[in-house]
């Protein structure tokens, strides 16, 4: 017989609060068109994006995260001292170590929480949410802060016609805590590393350091390959998440997919046969693709504008570089 005592966590976990931060500078398509040969009509028809937010020098990954975190903690009715874990998903924090989560934890006033970063691209929020749920249920933390944050303007090649118009900056955060009944469903997640070349950094940092290339590394992608994968394969994953949660599309109130592209979102809605009563997040139009931040930012806006309400059942799915994905059904805070 094992001498190890069982964990004493909560029976289930839930999202208790949500917060977001969008940089003050709003960048319309006209600015993007200064460096690429395209048109506003082309950008809107291909992506649905009209504007995006770009951070200024003061709006660092840490600063944006602190703002979003503060709102999420307040929305949850907690104090920073109660936060026992901080998980940050980002690909645009340029210090390899220490984890930016430790600095954010200190800045918000959390008391010695577990703090670490993850790199799962546009699926990062789903990965972080799943890890936080495990921490709460396992009992290693009662309340966990999950942050998705990006400054993708730092990794955007403004002369790349395929990607220059896509990316934006921002931070979204949620607090995960104990629940007496299931409020975060089983996660359907995974990776397809054989497709890693479809979304990637152009060159390693060492190539730039060693002078092998003159241009700073940027994010690039094979647009058509990503579109086909997202529409056909991710719709299947979304359906698997519904099945795992034991609900049907008719029982959904809200659909919050990664805000990558309006055409991808609309195609997924059609493939999933979502009924008209389901509210669909289309934050990409004014925020652009903010990778790990896109789902919590979209969630925060839907709740703030009244398009979604507390207690609604929402399907969330993130997908991106890796290629990686994560989908689950949640009850909105």
% of residues, the chain, pLDDT over 90: 91
Task: Note whether 127 and 224 are same-domain residues.
Answer: no
Determine which one of 29, 53, 258, 261 is catalytic. Answer: 258
Residue 27, domain member (yes or no): yes
Same domain, 17 and 145: yes
Domain assignment present for 150: yes
Q: Is the pLDDT of residue 2 over 80?
A: no
At 111 the pLDDT is 94
Of 148, 166, 181, the one marking the end of a domain is 181
Averaged confidence pLDDT in the chain: 96
Per annotation, catalytic residue among 29, 53, 93, 289: 289
Do 200 and 235 reside in the same domain of the chain?
yes
Q: Which candidate in 29, 93, 122, 261 is catalytic?
A: 122
- pLDDT greater than 80 at residue 1: no
How many domains in the chain?
2
Confirm whether 258 is a catalytic residue: yes
- Could you tell me if 176 and 189 lie in one domain? no
Residue 4 lies in a domain: no
Instruction: Assess if residue 236 is contained within a domain.
Output: yes
Do 146 and 247 lie in one domain? The reply is no
Domain boundary among 148, 181, 214: 181
Q: Can you name the residues that pair with 205 across neighbouring β-strands? A: none
> Does 141 share its domain with 49?
yes
Does residue 289 carry a catalytic annotation?
yes
Q: Is residue 91 located within the same domain as residue 148?
A: yes
Q: Are residues 189 and 90 in the same domain?
A: no
93 annotated active-site: no
pLDDT digits (tens, 9 = 90+) for 203-230: 888 988 998 988 898 999 998 899 999 9
For residue 5, being part of any structural domain is answered with no
Alpha-carbon distance 86 to 208, whole Å? 32
Residue 199 falls within a domain, yes or no? yes
Domain with 251, as residue range(s), is: 185-332
Query: Which of 134, 156, 181 is the C-terminal boundary of a domain?
Result: 181
Q: Is residue 106 part of a domain?
A: yes
Show contacts of 224-230: CB within 8 Å, 24+ apart. Answer: 225/195, 225/198, 226/198, 226/199, 226/260, 227/261, 227/263, 227/264, 229/192, 229/195, 229/198, 229/319, 229/323, 230/260, 230/261, 230/264, 230/268, 230/319
Q: Give the whole-angstrom CA distance, residue 156 versus residue 105.
A: 28
pLDDT digits 0-9 by tens, 55-67: 999 999 999 999 9
Is the same domain home to 206 and 274?
A: yes
- Res. 92: pLDDT tops 80: yes
Res. 8: pLDDT tops 90: no
Flag whether 203 is in a domain.
Answer: yes
Do 198 and 173 share a structural domain?
no
Distances (CA, A) of 102 to 85, 125, 235: 10, 18, 35
In this structure, the answer to whether residues 130 and 24 fall within a common structural domain is yes
Q: What is the CATH number of the domain that holds 150?
A: 3.40.47.10
Residues 85 and 68 in one domain: yes
């Amino acid at each position: 017989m094992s001498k190890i005592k069982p964990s004493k966590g909560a029976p289930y976990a839930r999202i208790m609060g949500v917060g977001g931060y969008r940089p003050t500078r709003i960048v319309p398509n006209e600015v993007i068109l200064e460096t690429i040969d395209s048109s506003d009509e082309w950008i809107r028809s291909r992506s649905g994006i009209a504007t995006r937010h770009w951070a200024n020098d003061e709006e660092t990954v840490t600063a944006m995260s602190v703002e979003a975190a503060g709102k999420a903690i307040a929305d949850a009715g907690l104090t920073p001292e109660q936060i026992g874990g901080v998980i940050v998903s980002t690909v645009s924090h340029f210090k390899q170590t220490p984890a930016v989560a430790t600095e954010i934890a200190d800045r918000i006033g959390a008391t010695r929480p577990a703090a670490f970063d993850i790199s799962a691209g546009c699926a990062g929020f789903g990965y972080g949410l799943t890890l936080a749920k495990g921490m709460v249920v396992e009992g290693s933390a009662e309340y966990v802060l999950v942050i998705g944050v990006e400054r993708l303007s730092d990794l955007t090649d403004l002369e790349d016609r395929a990607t220059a118009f896509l990316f934006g900056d921002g931070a979204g955060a949620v607090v995960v805590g104990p629940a007496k009944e299931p409020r975060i469903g089983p996660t359907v997640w995974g990776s397809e590393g054989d497709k890693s070349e479809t979304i990637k950094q152009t060159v390693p940092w060492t190539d730039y350091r060693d002078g092998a290339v003159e241009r700073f590394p940027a994010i690039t992608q094979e647009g058509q390959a990503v579109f086909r994968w997202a529409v056909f394969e991710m719709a299947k994953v979304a359906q698997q998440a519904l099945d795992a949660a034991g609900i049907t599309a008719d029982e959904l109130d809200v659909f919050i997919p990664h805000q990558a592209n309006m055409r991808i979102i609309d195609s997924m809605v059609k493939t999933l046969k979502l009924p008209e009563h389901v509210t669909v997040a289309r934050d990409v139009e004014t925020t652009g693709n903010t990778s790990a931040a896109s789902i919590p930012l979209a969630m925060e806006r839907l709740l703030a504008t009244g398009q979604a309400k507390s207690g609604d059942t929402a399907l969330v799915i993130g997908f991106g570089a890796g290629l990686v994905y994560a989908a689950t059904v949640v009850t909105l805070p």
